[in-house]
Structure 1
Amino acid sequence: MLEKRVKSRFSHRHVYLSLPANPTSYWQVCRQGLTVDDEDMKAEGIDEGVQGHVEFYRNWNNMIEDLHEDKTFKALLQYHYYTTKSAAAFLTECILPLSSLSVDEMALEIPSASATMVRLAAPNSKLHLLSALSDLDLGLLIAAARLDIVAHTDTVNFAMAYDEYGSLMGRHRVQSAGAGMMALGGGVRVWGRGVAGV
C-alpha cells in the first residue's frame, strides 16, 4: 500500500540572513570557516588527547590570523566581499590550498584574486548584461543560441546568426498575422543586416 505524504506548510519556508555589512564582519564569518573553536572540537570529532594537539591548534589559529595580514590574502578577501559577499564562495576558493597541505609543508598558500589557476568557484554570471541589450541584440543572441542547438555546430558567425534571426522573425510575422496581432499594433520590425552589424 502506498502512503500519501503531505508536505508540511513549514517545509518550504526559507530563512534569509543578511549579508555582512562591512569587510570586518565578512572576515569574522570567513574566519569561522577556517578555524576550529574550543567548543566545536568535540562536535567535530577531534581527539584532544593526541600529543601535540594544543600546539597544533595554537599554530593553526595563529597562521590564519597571520594570513589575514597578508596583502594577497586581503585582496582575495576584499574581492569576494565586494563582488558577492558570499562566505561560501571564499571558502570554496580555499579548498584547493587546504587540500594541498601536508605534514612536511604546513604553510597555507592562498592564491591572489587575479591568479590564473584552477578554481572551484562558479564562473561569473553574465545575466546582469541582458538588461542592457537592445531588442535587436537580444534577438541575435537568441538566434545564435538556437542555431547552436539546431545546427549542432560549435561556431556561429554573424551571417549565420542573422539568417536565423530573419527566419525566426519571418515565422513570428506569419503567426502574428494569423492571430490578428498586426491589426492591433503587434508588429515587430526586422532590422536590416547593416544595422544589425553595427
Structure 2
Amino acid sequence: MQRLYKTFLIINILNGSGKDKIYKLVEGGKSLQAFKKMENKLLHILKCLKQNLLENKECHGYDKEEQQIFDLLERTLDCGESNSALLIGPRRCGKTLLVNKVLERIQHKDNFDTDCILVKLNGLIHTDDRLALKSTTSQMQLDNVVDGKVFGTFAENLAFLLECLRTGDKSKSRSVIFILDEFDLFCCHHNQTLLYNLFDVSQSAQAPICILGITCRLDVIELLEKRVKSRFSHRQIFLLPHENQTSNVHTVGDAVNKIEYYLKLPEGNKKLQINTAVAKQWNRNLNNLLKEKKFRNVIQRLIDLDNSEAMLKDFLVKVIFHFTGENLTVDLFQKELNILEEDDMIKVLQDLTVLELCLIISMKHHLEIYDNNPMNFEMIYNRFMKFANANAGIQNFQRAVMLKAFEHIQGLELISMLSNTGSKVQKEYQFFKLLVTPEQILDAVKKSSGLPTEVAQWARSSLT
C-alpha cells in the first residue's frame, strides 16, 4: 500500500489527478498489476506530450541572423578571433532559441570540445558579479586548479580568472564563448566590473574570447558605462518580426492545427512505449474535440488575448498539467482560459477593506461628475462623508484613519500623483488620478463577499 501511495504521488505531481480516484480503484478490487498498467499508460502519454510541447522547438524566419551569429562564433573557434556582439529583439521572439540552435550547430564541429569552452550566464540568476564569477570559474573548470579559492574574495577570483584568460599564446589558447542572457541586467551590477574586464580582454587580443549578449532593450548601449562602452565592438544583431514568420497564429484554424500537432500521439512508435491502440484512441478523441464548436470558441477567445505560438504552447502545458488521465475535454480548456482571463487588478480591489473600497467608489463617482478631472483627498473625503451621513448602516471613520486608507491605496498603485503637483502642497490637497476603470470597480464589487448592500448599490448608482 505504501508503494501504491508513492505511485499516486508521482501521478499527482505530473497531472494533478485526485486521490479519490486512486482509492476507488483499490477499493473496487483492482489488482496492483492493473494499476501499474494504468500508471505506465499515463506516464508514457504524458512523456510524449511533454516532448511535443517542450522539446519540439523551431525558429523560423531568422536564417540571416543565425548565419551571422554562427560566423561570429566560428571565427573565434577556428581563427582565434576575439569578438563581442549584442542580439536584440522583443521578448519571446526566439533570441535564446536561436542562439541555442547556433550553439548546437557549432558544438558538432570536431574541434569544439578540444579548442573551446562555453560559459553561459543569465542576468536573472547571476544577480551580482560575485555569483557570475563563481559560475564562470566553475564552468571553465578552474575551481579545482584554484584549490577552493573560488569561494574567496571577489578581487582574488577576478584576478585569477583574468590571469587564466590572458595567459598563454593566442594561437594555442582555448577559445572562450560567453553567452550573457538578459544582458541588460548585467549593466545594473556595481561599476559593471565583470563586463568591463570581459570586454577589456576581448579588446586586448591576448586570448580568443567571444561575448554575445542577449537582451530585449533597444537602449542597452546607453546603459553601459563610458569605459565599458569604449571596449565594446558596437556590433548589434536585431531580431525583428518578419512578414514570412510563422510564429503567430492568426485564425482559429491555425491554432487548431498547432494544437493537433502538439497533442497528437505518434502511432506505432516503439521508442515511446505507447500501444498503437492507445495512440489511435487518443487521436480519435482529440480529433472529435477539435471539431467541437464550443472548443473552437474557447480557442478564438485565447488567440484574441494573444496570438503568439509561445502563448499557445504555454496554455497547452497548463492544460496537460491538470489533465487527470482521461480524455481531454472542453471544460478543461475553458477552466484554464478563465484563469488566464482573470484581471489581477480586480483581485487587488477585492482584497481592499470596505473603507478603502468606498474611497475607490468615491473616486469613480468624482470622475463621472467632473469628466475625469483629477481629485485630492479632501474631495474624496467629503464625498464619502456625504454618502455615510445619508446611510445609517455605514460606519463613520475618523479623518486620520481615512487618510491612512487613502495612502494605502496610493501604495497599491491604484492611484498615482500627478507630476505637476508641487512638493510643498499638503498631502491632503495633492492631486491624483485613478488607475482603475469603472468596469474593474464594478466587477470587484460584484465578486466581493460580505460587502454591505448600501455600498454595492452606491457603486452601481450613477452621478451621486
User: Normalization by structure 2: what TM-score?
Assistant: 0.24
Answer 1 or 2: which has greater helix percent: 2
- What TM-score does the superposition give when structure 1 sets the normalisation length? 0.48
Higher strand share: 2
Query: Bigger radius of gyration, 1 or 2?
Result: 2
Larger relative contact order (CA 8 Å, sep ≥ 6): 2
